[in-house]
């Protein structure tokens, strides 16, 4: 099972090189049926298969979508092997136990009946007939919300190794459900473990383990955190099939937390904002053959910094310097000088989500966390636009953002479109950055140029 959720051409090429085209089933999953990333991936791989199998190409594809969507119609017209129609009243981030989650699980050979059985047990445990204090979904939801109201709005997840990717799902669920109306619970997933001294008073820690395993070497740390006064929630699964129950518990808890915070957990008003910006930029590319460009605030040895005119004035004021007389390190220092206690630093990377890039960004976020004692997040674009992207714009103004972009050394065409995967990714990055600027967020864009490896190393060294 491979999951492709990056429009970076290198990421698309990596998946293509790892599969046997003749023995691959492509699952095209989109609730709306028109998600631009999913549509682009489908077009790219369908043309590859059609070149080999002609009219029988559809037999290597299945669709999962809501009834009446363009994707349903496409699947019928192209004779997909199967078209699965999900109940339309299930929101995307609440769909783990719907066909969107269960169809891939079944194809992987997981025991879907057991997962659903464990989920049903949790459903009964969250019944309104039971007292609230005995309801595991209510308990977790109230803890999340009341901790946030007390200033501990950074929910930091520690998981055992086999549950590591569960954090990605929780991240989307919490961020997109609660990050609106200037409020929000900020999920912190994958942050390197540190000692109690590097954490501020804005943290709630959650440990999630399965069986007899523990988060590697972290139990002593958790005890130290408790001694230091930090709240720690421990959830232990008997076995991995208990994930079925955890999916429901966290969905229920998120709805409860939204209610306590006075927000609607089931809408995402700011997600469409970045999509609209992207569509406008792509239309501009269709008309002119290029995306808009701005002059950098600072350009030095292959690295460039961009920001809005408003934020540039703010940085220049803090530097007490005329524009054009600022070096790269000073610009970074001015940006991080905007960090306040209780903030979080978000690294939004429109890069290939390769293991190497993940390791470098992990190093970067650890440096920033230890230096400023604030929470850090890392999101690879465009994936995070469908999760923490809502929180970035609609949540509290506590984010300090570094968007990271680079030139793509190789590109891939998207069949039927005048733009490529590289152009699509650039449009998504620019659209997202414009949305942050419109919201007056503290944000800069660091462009690494054509040498991503050297650019990231230099960025790490400058911040160090």
Q: How far apart are the first and last CA of the chain?
A: 38
How is domain 121-261 classified at the architecture level of CATH?
3-Layer(aba) Sandwich (3.40)
> Is 15 in contact with 48 (CB distance < 8 Å)?
no
Q: How far apart are CA 12 and CA 34, in angstroms?
A: 19
pLDDT band at 48 (very low <50, low <70, confident <90, very high): very high
> Is 19 in contact with 387 (CB distance < 8 Å)?
no
Superfamily assignment of 9-110 in CATH? Glucose-6-phosphate isomerase like protein; domain 1 (3.40.50.10490)
| pTM of the predicted protein model | 0.95
Q: How far apart are CA 345 and CA 371, in angstroms?
A: 11
> Is 304 in contact with 288 (CB distance < 8 Å)?
no
pLDDT confidence of residue 193: 87
Once rounded to an integer, what is the mean pLDDT over residues 37-43? 97
Once rounded to an integer, what is the mean pLDDT over residues 145-173? 95
Q: How far apart are CA 98 and CA 286, in angstroms?
A: 37
Percent of the chain residues past pLDDT 70, beyond the cut: 98
Taking only the tens place, the pLDDT of each residue in 390-431 is 999 999 999 999 999 999 999 999 999 999 999 999 999 999
pLDDT band at 321 (very low <50, low <70, confident <90, very high): low
For residue 320, the number of C-alpha atoms closer than 13 Å in the C-beta half-sphere is 0
Number of other residues whose CB lies within 10 A of the CB of residue 453? 12
Contacts of 440 (CB under 8 A, 6+ apart): 310, 397
Taking only the tens place, the pLDDT of each residue in 335-358 is 999 999 999 999 999 999 999 999
Q: How far apart are CA 421 and CA 393, in angstroms?
A: 25
Is the pLDDT confidence value at 324 over 70? no
Is the pLDDT confidence value at 136 over 60? yes
pLDDT band at 213 (very low <50, low <70, confident <90, very high): low
Q: How far apart are CA 211 and CA 161, in angstroms?
A: 12
Taking only the tens place, the pLDDT of each residue in 254-311 is 999 999 999 999 988 877 788 889 999 999 999 999 999 999 999 998 999 999 999 9
Nearest-CA neighbor of 155 among 40, 279, 89, 254?
254
Q: How far apart are CA 203 and CA 207, in angstroms?
A: 13
Contacts of 46 (CB under 8 A, 6+ apart): 26, 57, 61, 78, 415
- Per the prediction, the chain carries an average pLDDT of 94
Taking only the tens place, the pLDDT of each residue in 91-129 is 999 999 999 999 999 999 999 999 999 999 999 999 999
Q: How far apart are CA 207 and CA 231, in angstroms?
A: 11
pLDDT confidence of residue 285: 96
> Is 183 in contact with 263 (CB distance < 8 Å)?
yes
Domain ranges within the chain, ordered by starting residue: 9-110, 121-261, 271-463
Nearest-CA neighbor of 7 among 413, 301, 307, 280?
413
In the three-class reduction of DSSP (H, G, I as helix; E, B as strand; rest coil), residue 84 is classed as strand
Q: Is the peptide bond before 382 cis (omega within 30 degrees of 0)?
A: yes
Q: How far apart are CA 159 and CA 166, in angstroms?
A: 8
Q: For the domain made up of 271-463, give the CATH fold.
A: Rossmann fold (3.40.50)
Q: What's the burial of 359, exposed, middle or buried (CB within 10 Å: 0-12/13-18/19+)?
A: exposed
In this chain, the answer to whether the domains covering 9-110 and 271-463 adopt an identical fold is yes
């Amino acid at each position: 099972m491979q999951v492709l959720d990056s429009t970076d051409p290198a990421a698309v090429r990596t998946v293509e090189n790892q599969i046997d085209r003749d023995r691959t089933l492509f699952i095209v999953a989109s609730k709306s049926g028109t998600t631009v990333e999913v549509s682009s991936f489908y077009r790219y791989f369908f043309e590859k298969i059609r070149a080999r199998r002609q009219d029988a190409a559809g037999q290597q594809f299945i669709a999962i979508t809501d009834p009446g969507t363009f994707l349903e119609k496409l699947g019928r017209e192209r004779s997909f092997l199967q078209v699965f129609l999900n109940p339309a009243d299930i929101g995307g981030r609440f769909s783990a136990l719907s066909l969107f989650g269960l169809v891939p699980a079944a194809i992987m050979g997981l025991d879907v009946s057991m997962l659903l059985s464990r989920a049903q047990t949790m459903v009964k445990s969250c019944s309104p007939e039971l007292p609230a204090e005995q309801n595991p979904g209510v308990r977790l939801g109230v803890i999340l919300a009341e901790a946030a109201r007390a200033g501990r709005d950074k929910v930091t997840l520690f998981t055992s190794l086999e549950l590591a990717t569960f954090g990605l799902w929780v991240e989307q669920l919490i961020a997109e459900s609660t990050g609106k109306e200037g409020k929000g619970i900020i999920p912190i997933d994958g942050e390197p473990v540190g000692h109690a001294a590097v954490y501020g008073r804005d943290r709630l820690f959650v440990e999630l383990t399965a069986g007899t395993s523990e988060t590697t070497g972290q139990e002593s740390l958790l005890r130290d955190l408790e001694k230091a006064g930090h709240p720690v929630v421990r959830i232990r699964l008997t076995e991995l099939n208990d994930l079925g129950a955890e999916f429901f518990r966290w969905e229920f808890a998120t709805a409860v937390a939204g209610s306590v915070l006075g927000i609607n957990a089931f809408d995402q008003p700011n997600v469409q904002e970045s999509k609209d910006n992207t569509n406008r930029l792509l239309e501009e590319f269709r008309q002119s053959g290029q995306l808009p460009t701005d002059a950098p605030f600072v350009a030095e040895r292959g690295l460039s910094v961009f920001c809005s005119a408003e934020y540039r004035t703010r940085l220049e004021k803090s530097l007490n310097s005329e524009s054009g007389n600022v070096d790269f390190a000073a610009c970074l220092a001015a940006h991080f000088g905007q960090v306040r206690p209780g903030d979080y630093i978000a690294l939004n990377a429109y890069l290939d989500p390769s293991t190497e890039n993940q390791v470098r960004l992990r190093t970067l976020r650890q440096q920033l966390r230890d230096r400023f004692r604030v929470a850090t997040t890392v999101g690879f674009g465009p994936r995070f636009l469908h999760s923490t992207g809502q929180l970035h714009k609609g949540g509290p103004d506590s984010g300090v953002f570094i968007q990271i972009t680079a030139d793509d050394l190789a590109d891939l065409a998207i069949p039927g479109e005048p733009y490529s995967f590289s152009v699509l990714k650039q449009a998504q990055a620019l659209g997202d950055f414009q949305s942050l600027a419109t919201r007056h967020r503290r944000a800069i864009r660091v462009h690494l140029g054509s040498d991503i490896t050297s650019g990231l190393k230099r960025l790490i060294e400058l911040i160090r």
